[in-house]
Structure 1
């Protein structure tokens, strides 16, 4: 990516100074970016990638954020983007975590070796003190050769000092070993940064400069590691007895003996909030009370006065699956409160630092299913909304892991709305049948992941995840994240719901919906050994997962039939929104494979259980 292309694609005027924020993941760069730029921010896809880059004009400067990375290289898309932006920087503000200097300073030293003027923001200095870590800032500044500013970004401590320090940014003390290596390569390159990356074997930079990548990476990395270790040893003093109770709690969260009970407690609290309070109490008010009680009668009367309700346009607009009835009610009455509640919980977990600790706790177990510990995040989210959870599979490291997670979500995880109906039905059957249902779904989940891990080429990637400080969630941060994510999700999901409602409405007015019900009834009666009416429940389950479960609620089923029906409706293809999101995230080719495969497995597994129980 040449400088000209970067400026053109991101609309950066020529001659403007580029101030680039760089750092490892979860070091607080976004807080610095917001402090520097305020509200006037542009977000653009970086040329040739799907990654978004935030940038904003501030006076005569432009401030650019970069993805969190551990090094400047080309190992993945995030590192390629960070590399290209950093290479064009006039000044780099390197944000590091004061608690994890031995990790973060590796990137710091690499940027210094690239010959780019830098200011180092020593963030989370308060957390370091709480953990008994004392840092000699003056000594650190002397050894690195760049300004070092202690900060606590979330409390706005030191941010103004960082802004002022940009004026005295300077090139730091590079590795002495590079003095002999760089000169010969620099003659053939445009910048010192390009020469360094060619020495480190970066094939993309070498190709740009029409050179062959050199093989000095291991030598340079070892020298850089020794340099960083020496700096940390010189500037850091640790007093473990000064560690806070949060540090002890953090360790408990990641140890199986204490971590699993804490996780069960946390999930129980989340279920009570999302699955009971939001999915039942709040949704009953928004969906049944407001949307179905006031909005739908109003819109049906209004549209009915213009178009006959029984006509084809009337059916498509205000019918059972109408664009102005079911779609609006579903989005505002059901989905909006669920998504709000879910993202509120997720943002609180993220802000507290608990999610990475859960990932570490379950990493070994999920490796057997083809995922690393990160996979627990979309799985947890799936119990709130499978559609939203499907989007979060983007955070998984490889396409293979995203395929496995998407399949598991679609097949085995009931969303909160569906789970609420399932819980109501199971409560009538007693603890024995409730345990049987949970056991069957858990076995199906484990077997599905194990089989996918076996048949898909490749292996799960190692868990590389930062463990941020454990802290109480900050209400403003949580509310901002919740509002932004909810807005983005609703904007993305609304067109999908509209398309789905139009499709089902079309099937209804053409009579194909009834045909599908009749076509499906032999499977439900003969194979699943359920009443004929359950065919309608399965079709409605595709429209909306809780509709399918609710369709079973009023049927006269034996306890064994109830378990068969609930297992089948849980495995059954996800609702329209989730199905369309699968197509969007995984592409039409994979979506067409996933969708009918789950449909077939639902009836196959449900029938097998039926033959054993009934």
Structure 2
């Protein structure tokens, strides 16, 4: 969508002052618009979009509303409309939420950097007070360089003062870094605002002036984020006076001293529910009793008279890795209960408002691994099912972060089924080896994330996340989310599982599976210093992660050999279902890189540990 001439598109009379309301979504702009315009409002579709825009003539002023946006840019229709309206503004009234200044002031600072005279309406100050947030309005006004008016729009408080402040609207304190970047472009465009957007890479504004967009966006955004963070730190003071119990609990959840113990308790409860109750008790019933005890014998008896299991078609359909046996058992008996459990847990965290607070708590730590706080969501899910977690990397903000998260999930996060078997083996080894295993896997996770953060170009994106109020989870919401997500996941994953089972079945009937076991044996014996039979566990680990770990259970291993084997099988390539999802999510080119790289690292790290301990 090309840039629009606001006067022409909305039939704005010449010489009329254009006052534009701008702000993030749900900050209360509509209340201000109604207070300014009364009943004299026109609503029309903005040219080239399906979006409606409200505008009104009030005396010698023309008042315009804009869609709620987080920045002036061209990522979607809302931002494009807001961009064109703000570019045509004489004065901007920027409505910000006093509770979320660290989020809302990013747009404020961008409009200031555009050089447009502004007034800031600091809305919802009553809610900020209830949450124990005190804002130094005078200092905020000084730092921004524009009038700042405290308001409670829904009660009509401060609206009159905002109207009066329009006469005092002025340009604010822009980023010092821009004063070196903008002069040349400003000379070509005759507009500071449009010059800034060209610097931030806006192709539509650049095309209007027959220029190429300049990609300085990341540099400018980082400088703007540092500026906003400094302002927020200077003007906000949080106290417990007047704050509700939910507000105090919310703060405890996000402060390391109290937040980490709360998180550990929450993770323990999740593990007890998903890793113990679902993965062991429920799956024991659905997989072992229902599917293997009733379904598989029934389907074999049904098919065997027509296709004996010894025949190639019979082996592919009802054999050990059969499409009608292992695949259906895996999907309905194992994966479906786990996926339902994962999404019940995730939906509970979301609906309670705790999940975004976990993201805030771990944001700084995950930044070192190339992720922001949102990265904790797929990591938590990964301890349930790496396959499901890999799909949830879609919620991360950049392709770089999705790539890092996928690699970490595949390499260093054991799923609940595998973790159950690993835990039972570690119990036999004692506390010392258990702690050593946790240290080894934790170190591998941190070192791998740090290395990827260093090697891959770019930086982790800043965490922008709304903090909804804490509340008791609503069962109806949880069940709806769980059902929708689980259904979507099964529909996506089922064809991949069937394809994986067919591939393994073909390897088995052609003898290639046994050949792979023999091929892998020298590595396990000479490099890992493990029994030859361990090779079978690694092959089975590719079929299913817990099969691989279970294959080690009956082998005669010393404690040191057990630690080497468990570490290697944890790092070892994920099960075929997860591998296929990696190829689907990241594409075949990246999948071909990730898969053998992790395989190589698993044996390399396992061998190094072996030669140190054994």
Whether TM-score is above 0.5 comes out as yes
TM-superposed CA distance for 1:467, in Å, is: 2.5
- Matched residue, 2:443: 443
Unaligned runs of 5+ in 1: 4-21, 29-52, 56-65, 112-121, 146-172, 179-194
TM-superposed CA distance for 1:143, in Å, is: 7.5
TM-superposed CA distance for 1:594, in Å, is: 1.0
1:62-119 deviations in Å (ceiling 9; x for gaps): xxxx999512413xxxx43542587899xxxx999784378559869999xxxxxxxx
1:266-319 deviations in Å (ceiling 9; x for gaps): 111111111111110111011111111111111111111322221111111111
- Distance of 1:428 and 1:123 partners within structure 2: 60
User: 3-state DSSP class of the match of 1:70?
Assistant: coil
Query: Contact 2:123–2:152 (CA<8 Å) still a contact in 1?
Result: no
- Matched residue, 2:331: 331
Query: Contact 1:67–1:81 (CA<8 Å) still a contact in 2?
Result: no
TM-superposed CA distance for 1:415, in Å, is: 0.5
Are 1:455 and 2:472 matched, yes or no?
Answer: no
Instruction: Choose 1 or 2 for highest CA Rg.
Output: 2
- Matched residue, 2:79: 83
- Matched residue, 1:546: 546
User: 3-state DSSP class of the match of 2:323?
Assistant: coil
2:152 to 128, 135, 138: 135
- 1:14-33 equivalence runs, <5 A: none
Distance change >3 Å, CA 513–CA 351, structure 1 → 2: same
Are 1:390 and 2:353 matched, yes or no?
Answer: no
Query: Contact 1:72–1:80 (CA<8 Å) still a contact in 2?
Result: no
- Matched residue, 2:256: 256
Query: Contact 1:412–1:444 (CA<8 Å) still a contact in 2?
Result: yes
User: 3-state DSSP class of the match of 1:320?
Assistant: coil
2:197 to 201, 222, 227: 201
- Distance of 1:277 and 1:329 partners within structure 2: 19
1:405-464 deviations in Å (ceiling 9; x for gaps): 211111110011110111111112221111121111112112212222222233333333
- Matched residue, 1:464: 464
- Matched residue, 2:291: 291
- Matched residue, 2:42: none
- 1:74-223 equivalence runs, <5 A: 74=74, 79-80=75-76, 82-84=78-80, 99-100=99-100, 103-104=103-104, 131=131, 135-137=152-154, 138-139=156-157, 198=194, 201=197, 203-206=202-205, 209=208
Distance change >3 Å, CA 470–CA 175, structure 1 → 2: farther
TM-superposed CA distance for 1:493, in Å, is: 0.8
1:337-376 deviations in Å (ceiling 9; x for gaps): 1111111111111122222222222222222222222222
Q: TM-score, normalised by structure 1?
A: 0.70
- Matched residue, 1:411: 411
User: 3-state DSSP class of the match of 2:197?
Assistant: coil
User: 3-state DSSP class of the match of 1:480?
Assistant: helix
Which shows bigger deviation, 128-137 or 408-417?
128-137
Distance change >3 Å, CA 433–CA 86, structure 1 → 2: same
Distance change >3 Å, CA 254–CA 106, structure 1 → 2: closer
Unaligned runs of 5+ in 2: 4-21, 29-48, 52-65, 86-93, 112-121, 134-150, 172-190
TM-superposed CA distance for 1:395, in Å, is: 2.4
Query: Contact 2:126–2:152 (CA<8 Å) still a contact in 1?
Result: no
User: What is the count of residue pairs matched by the alignment?
Assistant: 490
- Matched residue, 1:537: 537
User: 3-state DSSP class of the match of 1:321?
Assistant: coil
RMSD: 4.1
Distance change >3 Å, CA 301–CA 344, structure 1 → 2: same
- Distance of 1:516 and 1:473 partners within structure 2: 49
- Matched residue, 1:510: 510
- Matched residue, 1:577: 577
Query: Contact 1:200–1:213 (CA<8 Å) still a contact in 2?
Result: no
- Matched residue, 1:190: none
TM-superposed CA distance for 1:260, in Å, is: 1.2
TM-superposed CA distance for 1:546, in Å, is: 0.8
User: 3-state DSSP class of the match of 1:253?
Assistant: helix
1:541-568 deviations in Å (ceiling 9; x for gaps): 1111111111111222222211111111
- Distance of 1:371 and 1:540 partners within structure 2: 32
1:134-170 deviations in Å (ceiling 9; x for gaps): 934124666789xxxxxxxxxxxxxxxxxxxxxxxxx
Query: Contact 1:386–1:413 (CA<8 Å) still a contact in 2?
Result: yes
- Matched residue, 1:363: 363
Distance change >3 Å, CA 409–CA 469, structure 1 → 2: same
Query: Contact 1:26–1:468 (CA<8 Å) still a contact in 2?
Result: no
Query: Contact 2:69–2:79 (CA<8 Å) still a contact in 1?
Result: no
TM-superposed CA distance for 1:132, in Å, is: 6.5
Q: TM-score, normalised by structure 2?
A: 0.70
Query: Contact 1:372–1:462 (CA<8 Å) still a contact in 2?
Result: yes
Query: Contact 1:408–1:445 (CA<8 Å) still a contact in 2?
Result: yes
Distance change >3 Å, CA 307–CA 591, structure 1 → 2: same
Distance change >3 Å, CA 207–CA 549, structure 1 → 2: same
- Distance of 2:260 and 2:500 partners within structure 1: 40
- Distance of 2:393 and 2:518 partners within structure 1: 36
- Matched residue, 2:496: 496
Query: Contact 1:378–1:393 (CA<8 Å) still a contact in 2?
Result: yes
- Distance of 1:126 and 1:307 partners within structure 2: 74
- 1:553-572 equivalence runs, <5 A: 553-572=553-572
1:472-518 deviations in Å (ceiling 9; x for gaps): 22222211111111111111111111111111011111111111111
Distance change >3 Å, CA 317–CA 205, structure 1 → 2: same
User: 3-state DSSP class of the match of 1:428?
Assistant: helix
- Distance of 2:566 and 2:213 partners within structure 1: 60
- Matched residue, 2:486: 486
- Matched residue, 1:475: 475
- Distance of 1:411 and 1:214 partners within structure 2: 39
Query: Contact 1:367–1:460 (CA<8 Å) still a contact in 2?
Result: yes
- Distance of 1:140 and 1:244 partners within structure 2: 25
Query: Contact 2:73–2:83 (CA<8 Å) still a contact in 1?
Result: no
Query: Contact 1:99–1:124 (CA<8 Å) still a contact in 2?
Result: yes
TM-superposed CA distance for 1:200, in Å, is: 5.9
TM-superposed CA distance for 1:324, in Å, is: 0.8
- Matched residue, 2:428: 428
- Matched residue, 1:267: 267
User: 3-state DSSP class of the match of 2:468?
Assistant: coil
